[in-house]
Amino acid sequence: MRSIKGIFVFSLLILAFLSYPVVGYTRERVIVEVAGLSCPFCAFGLEKKLKQIPGAEKVTIKVSEGKAEVEVAEGKKVTKEQVSQAVKESGFTPGKIEIQEEREGTP
């Protein structure tokens, strides 16, 4: 009886270990260079358009660097085209776009 209980606990531990990477997730962060961003008050429209991208969770506009960062909700994907289009629609010119993948929930 004792050994069955031990096997059961051991199995649970193995199962937890094997399933742990599965409960982790990836989160995207998109960094886009925005040319023409010389007027901070004008960033209102840029922020609005970037936030409208499906999956966009948080937008940070670094005026001094001429860049905007979009943090994407877990499990969601954003394409470079979507980001480029949003920047254009806000009245600015998109530059280099970089998508970084950050794995969260893993050791």
Partner 1 sequence: MTLRGKRGISLAFLLTAVVLGATPAFAQGPPINTETALLAGFTNAFRTFDQEIDRSGDLPGGMRGDLHVHAVPLMFPYAVTEGKWVVGAAVPYLDKKLDVKGPAGTTSFSENGFGDLRLFTEYAFYIKDEKQKTTRAIVIGGIDLPTGSHGNPDLPQGLWNGSGATNYLMGVAFSYIPARWGFHSDLIYRITIEGSGFEFGDTLRYDVALGYRLWPAIYEVYPSPQINLYFELNGLWEQKSRDISGDGNKVPDSGGNRLFLSPGIQYIPGRAFLIEASVQLPLVENLNGDQLKTDLQANFGFRWLLF
Q: Which of 6, 21, 24, 45 is close enough to bind partner 1 by CB under 8 A?
A: 45
Asked if 47 touches partner 1 (CB under 8 A), the answer is yes
Using the minimum distance from each CB to partner 1, give the nearer residue, 15 or 35: 35
Closest distance of CB 64 from partner 1, Å: 5
CB of 104 to partner 1, least distance (A): 23
Asked if 83 is part of the footprint of partner 1 (rule: CB under 8 A), the reply reads: no
Nearest C-alpha neighbor of 34 from the set 57, 54, 64: 64
Residue 60 contacts residue 50 (beta carbons within 8 Å): no
The residue among 33 and 74 lying less far from partner 1, judged by its C-beta, is 33
Instruction: Specify the residue, 48 or 103, whose C-beta has the smaller distance to partner 1.
Output: 48
Contact assessment for residue 100 and residue 31, using Cβ atoms and an 8 Å cutoff: yes
Helix H or strand E encompassing 79: none
User: What is the CB neighbour count within 10 angstroms for residue 74?
Assistant: 14
